Every structure is written in structure tokens, then in C-alpha cells.
Structure 1
Amino acid sequence: MSKPVEKPYGITNIKSVVPLTLDLEQLNYDAWRELFQTHNIGYGVSGHLVIAKDKPTDEEWNRINSIVKSWLYVTLSELLLQMILKRNVTSSQIWKNLKDHFRDNKDAKVIQLDNEL
């Protein structure tokens, strides 16, 4: 039986399990997040979405982190990818930045729609 950490190396097409592209205009953050998080839990790498106090230096952790980052990147619209793409960030930092961006925008959108009504 293989260890859970070996599973992520076999994923070649994340789009088959997370078919949504996270987009600023689609209002699909909640659905995208649920699919992405479910996939990560199933492959035993959900810990990479949790903010760690220190950046681990473990080589295996860094390899899995790079895989999770690539899963994140490929499920984002081009505009969103350009907005969040930064050097030397962890997958958990990207996850948090996306959450902050979409949750902040969601609250602002609710206020805007409420004012329009």
C-alpha cells in the first residue's frame, strides 16, 4: 500500500477533478474552493493549504508544495494568475491570498447590490 504522500506525484491533469477555472467575473470561488480542497484532502496534502509559521526546509515538503502550487496556478484565470503570482511563496500563502481577495470582494459586492436595490 502506498503512502499518501506518494499520491500527488501521479496527478497530471488537475482540471479533470477541478473543472472550474477560478475567475474574478464568474463568482465561482466557493464551488472552486470546495473542489480544490476536497482534492487536496483526498491526496493527503491539505496541510499545504494551512498557513505555517515558518517555511519548512524539508525537501519532500517543498516538492509537494510545488505540486500544490502548480495545481492552484492551473485552475486560475490568466488575469487572476497574473495578480497573485509571486516568487518564493508557499501554496498556503497563495490559498490565503485568494481567500482574502474573494471574501473581501464578496462583502463589497453584497453591499453594492444592496445599495442598488
Structure 2
Amino acid sequence: MAAKIHPAITVNNIKNFIPITLEMNKTQYSSWVELFKYTVALLQWIYETISNYLLLPILKLGQSAEQARERLKSMFQDNQNSRAIYLKQKFSNTKQDDFLDISSYCQALKIIFDKLIDVGSKMEEKQLVL
């Protein structure tokens, strides 16, 4: 009987499966973590898909992938109320004049909106339209 090979061992480049590099200010945590739900999540994969800014605080000898994900989760989802207030204010104060085109402006608003979802806050449709 042949030894079972873990599917993660056959992956040459995790970025083929997890194309997002998690960064504090650029990529949304929920999008990144969602990708791990559909792949076998191993600690090395997590380390390879986050920025050094995020990697250094979560590195801990002997931790499991689940522990690493929990530490990342706390970095993105702690202080939810204060983050939500800050992000809603940032959303409201983002002006189209600060961007070269409407696409960049909408992308910036989308990023803020996604960060609001990450901290468990939702904006009503009326606020989005205004």
C-alpha cells in the first residue's frame, strides 16, 4: 500500500491558488481568508501570502495554521467599533477630486466598503448612494 501524499505537498506555487498577498492597507482580510476555505490551509501557505508587515507579529514557534489565522483575524477584526467609525468617516470624506478617474475613485470606495464588512459593519444602501 502506497503512503498517502498530502495535497499540499504537490503544490509548487501557492500563489496559483491564493493570488492575494494579505496586506494591512491594501487587501481585504475576508477575501484572503475565503480563499483558504477552498484549499488545504497549511501554515507555510499563510506565511507565503501575507506581507512582512503582517508576518512578523504573527510568527510564533510551534503554532498551527489555525492559530496563525486567529492571530491575523485579531489584527483585522479587533476594535471593530472604533474601526467602523473611522472607516465610515473615511468613506464619507473620500472625494472624487482626489482621484485621476472615476474608476480609481470607485475602487477606493469599494476597498473601504470591504474593510467595513471585515469589521462587521454594514452601510445602508442610502449611505452608499449618497
What is the TM-score normalised by the length of structure 1?
0.65
**In structure 2, what is the equivalent of residue 55 of structure 1?**
none
Shift of 1:109: 2.1
Could you tell me how far apart the structure 2 residues matched to 1:106 and 1:27 are? 17
Could you tell me how far apart the structure 2 residues matched to 1:103 and 1:73 are? 19
SS of equivalent to 1:101: helix
Task: Report the AA paired with residue 20 of structure 1.
Answer: I
Task: Report the AA paired with residue 13 of structure 1.
Answer: N
Shift of 1:27: 4.1
**In structure 2, what is the equivalent of residue 29 of structure 1?**
29
Cα RMSD of the aligned pairs, angstroms, is 2.4
Larger Rg over CA atoms? 2
**Residues 114 and 73 from structure 1, CA distance in 2 versus in 1: closer, same or farther, beyond 3 angstroms?**
same
Could you tell me how far apart the structure 1 residues matched to 2:3 and 2:79 are? 39
* Higher RCO (C-alpha 8 Å, min separation 6): 1
Shift of 1:106: 5.1
Number of equivalenced pairs? 90
Q: Contact conserved, 2:20 with 2:49, CA < 8 A, in 1?
A: yes
Shift of 1:3: 8.9
- Please list every run of 5 or more consecutive structure 1 residues that lacks an aligned counterpart in the other structure: 41-45, 47-67
Kindly, what percent of the aligned residue pairs are identical?
A: 31
| Residue deviations 1:47-76 (CA, integer Å, cap 9, x gap) | xxxxxxxxxxxxxxxxxxxxx110010000
Could you tell me how far apart the structure 2 residues matched to 1:4 and 1:106 are? 43
**In structure 1, what is the equivalent of residue 20 of structure 2?**
20
Shift of 1:13: 0.8
Could you tell me how far apart the structure 1 residues matched to 2:21 and 2:35 are? 11
Q: Structure 1 residues 105-114 or 28-37, which shifts more?
A: 105-114
Shift of 1:89: 1.1
2:63 to 59, 64, 89: 89
Task: Report the AA paired with residue 33 of structure 2.
Answer: R
**In structure 2, what is the equivalent of residue 10 of structure 1?**
10
Q: Structure 1 residues 97-106 or 11-20, which shifts more?
A: 97-106
Q: List 4+ stretches of structure 1 deviating above 6 A.
A: none
Could you tell me how far apart the structure 1 residues matched to 2:30 and 2:11 are? 23
Q: Contact conserved, 2:22 with 2:32, CA < 8 A, in 1?
A: yes
